[in-house]
């Protein structure tokens, strides 16, 4: 697991040259990166959502494209279009900006549902279908999306199917006074992201992704604990729609990545607890009664973690 720790230190340290005082959030984004998951960065304007996504894209040696989502954006503007070539007499596919390894979907909730649906196949199957022809997307493929949860004018809320495809939802929040002063000092001459360089290559990232899935052990007791937590979201009195099996898979994968980051080749219940809120809270829909009381989904997940028994340990059978 030394490979994961070294890569984490390089990438997180590189991103923190731009994003000040948000170590936990940067760590969560890196966890999603190394377990091939998409990230929804959600917060008010001006706290660094887009800059954080750009910093991660610059830190890994992957191709990068940015899509500015607007109400007039069409699905073909995202996936690409087939254009007739008069010289050859054939249609040629012109790929859209989604054909890249790291894609920044900026202000994703400002596009219409029709355009948002163009991302469903991309994010789950890692492919696009245009005019009946399917094209594989480059690997690794990661979508870093941003949205403002406060200003709803001119926006279209993300449907449950779209939200469920994000591995993690991250909230940045305002920096502390000291961190904001540091940010002002660093940006006095120029923005630090302009000089941010690559610290790991695309091949290193792909190798890291495969190593974590193969090498980090998830015990049967941990799997049972994860499923118990997810099942509890489906029976909670304040929840109208609980987390799907995709949520269970996401929690397993994210826990494996976190274990690797901390130098372990096995998952602990603490990994599950640390990642349950960012992994599951955006997958829940509260019922009307809880909505009136302003009950947050993150609070519900915390209540479930306090009520579900944590598994103990058991001795491994000696090898013969």
Kindly compute the dihedral angle of the four CA atoms of residues 8, 11, 16, 18, in this order, to the nearest 10 degrees: -170
Write down the pTM of the prediction: 0.87
Q: Read off the pLDDT of residues 79-137 as tens digits, 9 standing for 90 and up.
A: 998 888 888 888 888 899 999 988 999 899 899 988 988 899 999 999 998 888 899 99
Kindly report, residue by residue over 167-217, the tens digit of the pLDDT. Answer: 999 988 888 899 889 888 888 888 888 888 888 888 888 888 888 888 899
Quickly tell me which residue has 């829940």 as its tokens. Answer: 284
- How confident is the model at residue 313, as a pLDDT? 62
Q: What is the structure's pLDDT at 246?
A: 92
pLDDT at 52: 85
Phi/psi for 207 (5° steps) reads: -65, -40
* pLDDT of 6 strictly over 90: no
Rounded mean pLDDT, 284-302: 88
CATH 3.40.50.300 positions along the chain are 1-214
254: nearest Cα among 222, 220, 296: 222
Angle at the Cα of 274 (from 241 to 276), degrees rounded to 5?
Answer: 10
User: What is the DSSP track for the chain?
Assistant: -HHHHHHHHHHHHHHTTTS-S-HHHHHHHHHHHHTT-EEEEE--TTSSHHHHHHHHHHHEES-EEEEE--TT--HHHHHEEEEEETTTTEEEEEE-TTSSSEEEEETGGGS-HHHHTHHHHHHHHSEEEETTEEEEPPSS-EEEEEE-SS--TT--PPPHHHHTTEEEEE---PPPHHHHHHHHHHTTTS-GGGG----EEHHHHHHHHHHHHHHSB--HHHHHHHHHHHHHHHH-TTEEE---HHHHHHHHHHHHHHHHHTT-SB--HHHHHHHHHHHHGGG-EE-HHHHHTT--HHHHHHHHHHHSPPP---PPPPP-
Query: Is the pLDDT reported for residue 320 higher than 60?
Result: no
The second-level CATH assignment, the architecture, of 216-320 is Orthogonal Bundle (1.10)
Q: Which fold has domain 1-214?
A: Rossmann fold (3.40.50)
**Matching residue, tokens 């540091």:** 182
Chain region(s) in the chain for CATH 1.10.8.80: 216-320
Residues in Cβ contact with 157 at an 8 Å cutoff, skipping those fewer than 6 apart: 109
């Amino acid at each position: 697991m030394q490979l994961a720790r070294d890569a984490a230190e390089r990438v997180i340290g590189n991103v923190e040259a731009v994003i000040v005082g948000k170590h936990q959030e940067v760590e969560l984004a890196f966890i999603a990166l190394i377990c091939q998951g998409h990230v929804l960065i959600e917060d008010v304007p001006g706290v660094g959502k887009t800059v954080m996504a750009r910093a991660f894209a610059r830190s890994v040696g992957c191709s990068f494209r940015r899509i500015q989502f607007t109400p007039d954006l069409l699905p073909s503007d995202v996936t690409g279009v087939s254009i007739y070539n008069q010289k050859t007499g054939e249609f040629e596919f012109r790929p859209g900006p989604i054909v890249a390894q790291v894609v920044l979907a900026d202000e994703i909730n400002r596009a219409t549902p029709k355009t948002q649906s163009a991302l469903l196949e991309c994010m789950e199957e890692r492919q696009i279908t245009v005019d009946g022809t399917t094209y594989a997307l480059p690997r690794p493929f990661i979508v870093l999306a941003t949205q403002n949860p406060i200003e709803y004018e001119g926006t279209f809320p993300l449907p449950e199917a779209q939200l469920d495809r994000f591995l993690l939802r991250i909230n940045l929040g305002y920096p502390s006074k000291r961190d904001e002063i540091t940010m002002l000092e660093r940006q006095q001459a120029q923005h630090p992201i302009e000089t941010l360089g690559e610290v790991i290559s695309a091949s290193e990232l792909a190798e890291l992704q495969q190593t974590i899935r193969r090498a980090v052990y998830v015990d049967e007791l941990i799997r049972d604990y994860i499923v118990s937590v997810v099942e509890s979201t489906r029976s909670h009195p304040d929840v109208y729609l609980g987390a799907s099996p995709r949520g269970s898979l996401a929690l397993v994968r994210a826990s494996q990545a976190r274990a690797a980051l901390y130098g372990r080749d096995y998952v602990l219940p603490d990994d599950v607890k640390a990642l349950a809120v960012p992994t599951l809270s955006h997958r829940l829909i509260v019922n009307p009664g809880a909505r009136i009381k302003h009950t947050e989904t993150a609070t519900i997940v915390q209540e479930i973690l306090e009520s579900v028994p944590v598994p103990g340990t058991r001795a491994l059978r000696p090898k013969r």
